[in-house]
Amino acid sequence: MRVGGVEHMEFEDFYESARDACLRAVVAATGDRHLADDLVAEAFTRAWLSWRTVGRHPAPRAWVVRVALNTRVSWWRRRRHEVALTGHGADQPAEPGEPDVDPALLAALRRLPKRQREVVALRVFLDLDTEATAKTLGIAPGTVTAHLSRAVAALRGDLATVTSQEENR
């Protein structure tokens, strides 16, 4: 890997064009801006270290988001083990502070099951097609479609309720 060479410039261009979309997708999937920042930073670090491979990946943004979500699982498993050993409770998740994502939408996304959040993050926030989303998550395309349909229906109902409550104030 040549620092300062063509690979560095390619990665820098990729980072600049993909960071915000990847962050929004991870915020949508996790519901926690601070955690998402850490996860995306870790994922981009791994992308840089493997840029020769990641740069040729058919969907490098999806690769970054998947690595971020996998890292979250690894951190959670490690944290769960640490909590069990020390006897301390888990900290409360930080309040999301993503200015580009409506707080009511984030709250509604947090109420969705994990897989539905991941599908929404990849399909809506990263604008991946069904096939790329299925491949990224390791599920069938029909499963992606079903999860997205259920998520959209739940979000529509949730957000309509929020909107009507705000109008009644």
| Domain ranges across the chain | 6-167
Task: From 92, 160, 156, 96, select the one nearest 124 (Cα to Cα).
Answer: 156
pLDDT of residue 168: 66
Q: Work out the burial of residue 29: count CB atoms within 10 Å of its CB; fewer than 13 is exposed, 13-18 middle, 19 or more buried.
A: buried
- Report how far apart, in Å, the C-alpha atoms of 101 and of each of 7, 15, 51, 64, 79 are: 32, 20, 29, 19, 27
CATH top-level class of 6-167: mainly alpha
- In the prediction, which pLDDT does 165 show? 65
pTM: 0.66
pLDDT of residue 65: 94
Task: Residue 158: count other Cβ atoms within 10 Å of its Cβ.
Answer: 17
pLDDT at 36: 93
C-beta atoms surrounding 38 within 10 Å: 15
What was the pLDDT predicted at 27?
92
Q: How far apart are CA 133 and CA 147, in angstroms?
A: 11
**Could you tell me the two tokens for 146?**
């079903």
Alpha carbon separation from 115 to 56, 94, 120, 147 (Å, rounded): 27, 21, 9, 7
Residues 6 or more apart whose CB falls under 8 angstroms from that of 111 comprise 154, 158
For the chain, residues with pLDDT lower than 70 are 1-4, 74-101, 162-169
